[in-house]
Structure 1
């Protein structure tokens, strides 16, 4: 049956068919394609398998055939034919036998279909299963049983467990006692699941291997429980898994919280006078237009009246202060308070001392929480949308539209004010280029004007207060209240994607989501906390509650060092040169260097153009510092020094 004319060569573009059969003493199988045999299998059953049921013998024949020809079948869909009809539903049946569970796991990852074939038609596999095999006359006079070390630990764990000790003693005297349990070879099982005692830390080792390992993948509570449950049993299994997963260091640092936004909305107080409280922010990164590439946005928090001032980057604290006095102070005077983010302009010593002398309060947002100045962020969005609509075909002409953009915004109806910012500030609508009639001149007493003005301000405050209450009502429906106590340990969520470098951003995708844990030093207001950050941290230590997550458990976590930040932007710097090469690009050899970045491993190193590195990091010499050569480099560079 093994002569060359009988066996065909396999064609991997066509489906394979495996026919199997088992009899009382052996198994047989044929690997076929389109009725042509490719390989045969005939094997006598071992002594330990002679007592298997007919179903299990047929299952074993199927498994041995697939195992032997796995190099043909893996990666292709194939058909299995057997005269055991119940094997058609092999994956849908309940398997109480540990042996069957092990067999099923060996079939995972394969694409197959089990078909029924009558025994009278399954002649080839049937004949192969009945071949007589010489079993020899040898006899085993000694049996050696090897018990894995972890099973020995399981046996030892029964010593101090009252429940399992009681069951073991009862099963030793009467095997029918405790019918849900079985005791064999020193291992106690409950419905085929290995019972594990609490002594020796074996339970923690099992959970750790099922959760922390690469196969466990740091799954959630239910995922880890479903991995452990089919194999092991102890009364507090689910509770122990729940505690372990919640206290896992890697999970607490790396996973997002699937909860509503922490921290209830805390609206800023409504000012009493126009231009007494203002907010400021920048729009950066615009295309150059008339020598300008940025916009300073200044908003009155009572009337929402705004000014849009074009700037040229880079700007300084002194230049922004001059712009403020030239354009805002001359029109509205000095405010009582200014709300800003933590831009380097607003945190500079000059800016603080200047407005401190003028007795102006500087209110800044907490670190990494620009929502504090959400009003200006919204105005920025409206302005960007206006410019995008008006000059999308000529984006470098945006400066010519800025005056009209300011007039448009200030004369546009504001739903919170129930009027326009212009009318809220001046008390009358502006005279515009329109077809409407001219306003008539009305003369009235000064006192009446002042009274009317006071009524307008009061109405504005009432409308804004109603709008704030309505906004808070809807916002709090999607938020949860969260509080910490002084000396609580919390994890800190930063924004590593806000990075500026020539390094690929995809490196930072897998950085830790949370850093810490750090102790809470003080509660600032209702939704901000001051943390005890490591010495030398370049971050403001006050954070909104939405960026904090309480550490769970008492296990010690080594604190992860904070990355390098500058003005709340994640900075990535080159730390080492691993290799260099020349890459042909448009018929020109472009020099490149393999850079290992700060807070990154050598595996995360990236190839970067020399010109980009020289421009971005002028103080870093990319040449003459290669630590090792890159294998397979298309063309090595000569050692050169500038």
Structure 2
């Protein structure tokens, strides 16, 4: 192939390579092959040239001649000019930690280190010692004197970046520095780090041995009480008052309206519990405002009843009632899975099922313990034997629900979890695991302590030892605020600040809630009825304003 054909082929391949840019536009081709500029007017010599020319006919371009000595870009490799070898200086910068200069200054001030540096420079002391750029090194690591105050700064620089544990921090520090008892110094620093103490989860078993409540001597002499809240409104009720006899496990489930007061709960207690079982000797309950109110405590004190309150955020104190609550919720889910707003209708069946079920703790049913006989069995209804259609429908529906309950009870127990509003647990992942430090005022019993909390704190100051740990070190940073409140499972719960908007979604009134301590972008749509039940002390109807579609 001649030089002319090679240059022409290069032209064709170049144009076809960039045809998506060149089609429909006029462009110029510059070449150092002089005869190629006459491509359109010269005689075609070969068949290959004819094919190449045919491929170029759809493009609008002109060809200009350019001397080879000037066409350096196209022939960059073949026309590279060789010049004299020249040394070029390159400037670069690298960050130098400030404590490196501080260590160098310290080594110059300390007389013992200066003597050692002089011995190394004179060759008297060799081995692992070396002086480089004015720094004394030991085994290629910067040497820091044993009593140097810079040790804490160095450890903090490596630890504070990610607050890693001892082994990772130790490896980072020892790769650059050396001093005597480095391992002990790093262990002490990490153990006393305030941020690590507050935010890292303890990997130890919970402290404090289980302190069981005294065993009751008679049925319905010692009871426990609690509330199941947040249920959908059914027949005007949205809360269940749960009362459990601690000896027989016999329970009463009473539907009540929310919000409730100490006076109304006391009336419910006398109408449903006192008339059947008399006045109890002790009541175990959590620190609900109803149970801690002056009216409630004084009323029962005058009737000879004492209270055993659970310590703050330690629901294990009243673990029996917590188990009953979960079982009750499971019953209602099975009963009313398709029609949850009818739970009041089936509450009596849930109570009967629970009290006539065999309990592993007492090896019999609660009904048998209280009444001394086996519970009566429910006869399965035979369709077509009732003379009243409404009765037949009622009994058929009863048998259907009970059958579904028995089939689903095992699966439901495995999946059973306490349902807590997602909005109420916002930012719990990144919230501190511990707060403080606070001074211990008094030891309460065997496994609880009373702390000195701020005066405006709405938290009971007595805590189980499993929720506490010792503050290590003397350094105390700015005292952070305690959470406004904490849930039953120690999750941080935020409070509503204002209502930004209102709407109706499928006939359910919802409000756009901005939460305390969170930006407007974190506002969430919440069910208004559920918000009222969870935050009865907030006048949500008066907060915020209506906009948009409104209700």
TM-score of the aligned structures, taking structure 1 as reference length? 0.57
**Equivalent residue number for residue 574 of structure 1:** 497
Relative to structure 1, the CA distance from residue 498 to residue 349 in structure 2 (aligned partners, 3 Å threshold; closer, same or farther) is farther
Over 6 Å off, 4+ runs: 159-163, 497-500, 566-569, 608-616
Bigger mean CA deviation after superposition, 607-616 or 331-340: 607-616
Give yes or no for the alignment of 1:174 onto 2:123: yes
**Corresponding residue for residue 208 of structure 1:** 156
Q: Per-residue CA shift, 1:45-86, capped at 9, x if unaligned?
A: xxxxxxxxxxxxxxxxxxxxxxxxxxxxxxxxxxxxxxxxxx
Partner of 2:372: 427
Q: CA deviation at 1:201?
A: 2.1
Residue 168 of structure 1: how far off its partner (Å): 3.1
Written as runs of structure 1 = structure 2, the 5 A alignment for 1:255-266 is: 255-266=200-211
Structure with the largest fraction of strand = 1
With over 3 angstroms needed to count, the CA separation of the structure-2 counterparts of 1:374 and 1:245, relative to structure 1, is same
Q: 1:502-521, aligned counterparts within 5 Å?
A: 505-521=425-441
Residue in 1 that maps onto 2:444: 524
Q: 1:422-471, CA deviations, whole angstroms, 9 ceiling, x for partnerless residues?
A: 22222221232359xxxxxxxxxxxxxxxxxxxxxxxxxxxxxxxxxxxx
Would the alpha carbon gap of residues 148 and 607 (structure 1) be closer, same or farther in structure 2, given more than 3 Å must change? closer
Look up the SS of the partner of 1:554 in the other structure.
coil
Instruction: Give the aligned partner of residue 143 of structure 2.
Output: 195
Match of 2:163 in 1: 218
Supply the distance in 1 between the matched residues of 2:279 and 2:240 (Cα, whole angstroms). 21
Q: Would you say the 8 A contact 1:499–1:572 is kept in 2? A: no
Report the CA distance shift for 1:134/1:306 in structure 2 as closer, same or farther (over 3 A): same
Helix, strand or coil at the partner of 1:261 = coil
Mapping of 1:105-184 within 5 angstroms?
133-135=85-87, 149-158=98-107, 167-174=116-123, 177-184=125-132
- Distance in 1, matches of 2:147 and 2:96, equals 19
Q: CA RMSD in A?
A: 4.1
Give the distance between the partners of 1:160 and 1:241, measured in 2 at CA.
Answer: 25
1:410 to 342, 355, 360: 355
**Distance apart, 1:290 and its partner CA:** 2.9
Q: Partners in 1 of 2:305 and 2:294 — Cα distance?
A: 14
State the alpha-carbon separation in 2 of the partners of residues 593 and 382 from structure 1: 33
Superposed displacement of residue 170, structure 1: 3.7
Match of 1:307 in 2: 252
- C-alpha distance in 2, partners of 1:184/1:323? 85
Shift of 1:526: 1.0
> Do the aligned partners of 2:424 and 2:494 also contact (CA within 8 Å) in 1?
no
CA, structure 1 residues 157+354, in 2 after alignment: closer, same or farther (shift >3 Å)?
same
Mapped partners of 1:148, 1:431: distance in 2:
82
- Give the C-alpha shift of residue 519 in structure 1: 0.3
Q: State the partner residue of 2:456.
A: 536
CA contact (8 A) 1:343 1:567 kept: no
Retained in 2: the 8 A contact 1:167–1:178?
no
Counterparts of 1:265 and 1:206, CA distance in 2:
44
Preserved contact between residue 537 and residue 562 of structure 1 (Cα < 8 Å):
yes
Q: 1:545 to 1:526 in 2, by over 3 A?
A: same
Structure 1 residues 408-427: Cα deviation after superposition (integer angstroms, max 9, x where no partner): 21221111111221222222
> When the two structures are aligned, how many residues end up with a matched partner?
416
Q: What residue is the counterpart of 1:373 in the other structure?
A: 318
Partner of 1:557: 477
Residue 180 of structure 1 and its aligned partner are, at CA, apart by 2.2
8 A Cα contact 1:159 1:199, kept in partner: no
1:250 correspondence with 2:195: yes
Larger Rg: 2
Aligned pair partner of 1:325 in 270, 276, 280: 270
- Cα distance change, pair 313–191 in 1 and its aligned pair in 2 (3 A): same
Contact 1:281–1:298 (8 Å) recurs in 2? yes
Q: Structure 1: give runs of 5+ residues left out of the alignment.
A: 9-123, 139-145, 436-496, 587-591, 624-636, 638-642
The answer on whether the counterparts of 2:312 and 2:463 sit within 8 Å (CA) in structure 1 is yes
* CA drift at 1:358: 0.6
* Higher mean C-alpha displacement, 333-342 vs 165-174: 165-174
